[in-house]
Amino acid sequence: QDNIPSLVLFKKQVKAGTVFKKSVKVVFEGKSLKLIPYDILAIGENVEAVLYNGMYYILNRRAFDSMFHYKEGFKKIVEGGKEEILRSGMLSNAERFINDCMGDGRYLPRLAKALYSGCFKEVAKKIINITKIKERHNIALELSEDGIIQYKGAESIPEILNIFLDHYVVSPMTDRAMLAKAIESYEAGKNG
């Protein structure tokens, strides 16, 4: 049928290992083997993303980000939210914290997510609760007397990002303090 939209699959090219490059490459042609004298494009088995009817469906976010160099997109989001973090007064050495996150591929997407989702703004409004959260969840961050998070180095980035992403929760059923892993999945299911 002519009116069926095309489906585009994206797969990251796998860099051929040294052993593969030095090996003899052959293909079956009928019942005999034929030598392949040229380089081969290696593609792994799983698809990173699908483009269908103008919508991207990302199946492997890290590989997709890497494939399209989306790190620059995350940097733009963080650059755009930098003043918001500085103005919030939530943390000492905020500029250093931002730079450390921007320099580390593990933390840059999480900081961008906190800013882009609006989660950071909501947390900043309730920062007065930080002392209670620190005690309840046994968070190893140092706070000043007025409740400002003391940023001393990269080792505290994961806990600060968990705060910015509002991942510290208390179960209403068991009153147990937890680090939430599935908040976004729950919210998406609830709203969808």
CB 118 within 8 A of CB 112: no
Q: What angle do CA 38, 42, 47 make, to 5 degrees?
A: 155
- Give the whole-angstrom CA distance, residue 27 versus residue 112: 46
Alpha-carbon gap, residue 144 to 9, rounded angstroms:
51
C-alpha closest to that of 155 among 78, 82, 101, 85 = 101
Position 189 scores a pLDDT of: 45
pLDDT, position 184: 47
d(CA 3, CA 16): 39
Question: What's residue 162's pLDDT?
Answer: 92
The pLDDT of residue 41 is 63
Residue 191 has a pLDDT of 45
**Mean pLDDT for each 10-residue chunk of the chain (192 residues)?**
77 69 79 81 73 83 76 90 94 96 92 92 89 89 91 94 90 83 48 44
Record the pTM: 0.65
pLDDT at res. 1: 57
pLDDT at 115: 95
Left (φ > 0), alpha (ψ -120 to 50) or beta: where does 72 sit? alpha
Listed in sequence order, the residues at least 6 apart from 3 whose beta carbon sits closer than 8 Å to its beta carbon are none
